Amino acid sequence: LKKNNINFHALSKDELDIRDYENAKNLLFQISPDLIINCAAYTNVDKAELEKELANDINNFGVKNLSKISNKLNCTLVHFSTDYVFNGSYNKKYTESDKTDPISYYGKTKLEGENQLVNLCNKYLILRVSWLFSEKRNNFVTFILNKLLKNEDIICVNDQVGIPTCADDISKFIFLYINMNIKHQNKQVYHFVNNGNEVSWYEFANKILTFFEKFTSTTSKIIPVTSNDFFKTNIRPQYSALCNKKIQDNYNFKIDNWEKSLNETVNKFFKK
C-alpha cells in the first residue's frame, strides 16, 4: 500500500478495541476511511469453549460494532471468517451456498459475526479462509519449521482435512480489491483458499518437511495421530475444504496452488 501511495492506518488491538463501540467509532471517524479491513478475531478453538464471553464479544459483538460504524461512515467493511462455520460432514469442497452448522463455540461466534454483517452492514465483503500460513508470526508452518530446526519430533493429526492458505495470496487479492476504487460488488460472501488438493495436517507437515530439506537436514520424525487422540475433543470439522471458484470467476483473479505458495514461504523463512 505504501509503495503505491495508498493512505492507510494499521491499528493494533490496543489502539482499536472493536468491543468498545464508542472508542472505535471516535477513532474511525477521525480517520474517515473508504474501507475497513477487520483482522481482529478470537481464534483459539479450545479456549473459546471456556472463554465464551470473550470469544463472543470479539467475534460477534465486535463485528456488530464495526458494521454500525461502517454504515455511519458509508464505507465498505472487509471481514475474515473461517471454514469452521461448517460441520465437516461433507466429502466435497464446500461452496458459499452450502449449509453452515458449526460444531465449536469458536465456529458459532464466527458465524454470528457473519450474520451481523449480513443483517446490519450496507457494504461488506466476507472472506472465509482456512489453515492460514506465512513466514511471519506464529502459525502451523513456522511451528513445524522451528521444530524441524530443533530436531524435535512432531505429532500431527491425520484425519482432519482442509486446504492451506497463504496470507500473502490473500493480501494480493485485497490489494486488487482496493484498487478497484471500491467500485465492487457489495454484500458478498466468498471462500478464499489456495488452489490445490485438500490435505490432512499430517500431509501438510510432510510437504513442509520436503521444502525444508532443500535448505538443511533434520532428525525430526512426523508422527500421525487421530484427532480424538490429539485433541481429546470433537469440536473441529473432519473435512473443511472450501471451493474458491466463485471468487476467482467473479474477480478474474487466479489464486496460486498452495504448494507453490508454501515453497515460496519456506524460502522467505530461511532468507529472513
- The catalytic residue positions are 106
- The closest of 127, 131, 139 to 170, measured between CA atoms, is 127
The contacts of residue 71 (CB under 8 Å, 6+ apart) are 120, 121, 122
Within 34-99, strands assigned E span 35-38, 76-82
Under 8 Å between Cβ of 240 and 83: yes
d(CA 158, CA 99): 25
DSSP H or E run through 155: strand 154-157
Q: What are the beta bridge partners of residue 168?
A: none
Quote the crossing angle between the two packed helices 62-73 and 105-120, to the nearest 10°.
20
- The closest of 144, 256, 150, 146 to 204, measured between CA atoms, is 144
DSSP H or E run through 25: helix 21-31
Q: What are phi and psi of 87, to 5 degrees?
A: -90, -10
CA distances from 60 to 19, 55, 56, 57, 201 (A): 9, 8, 5, 6, 28
d(CA 40, CA 23): 16
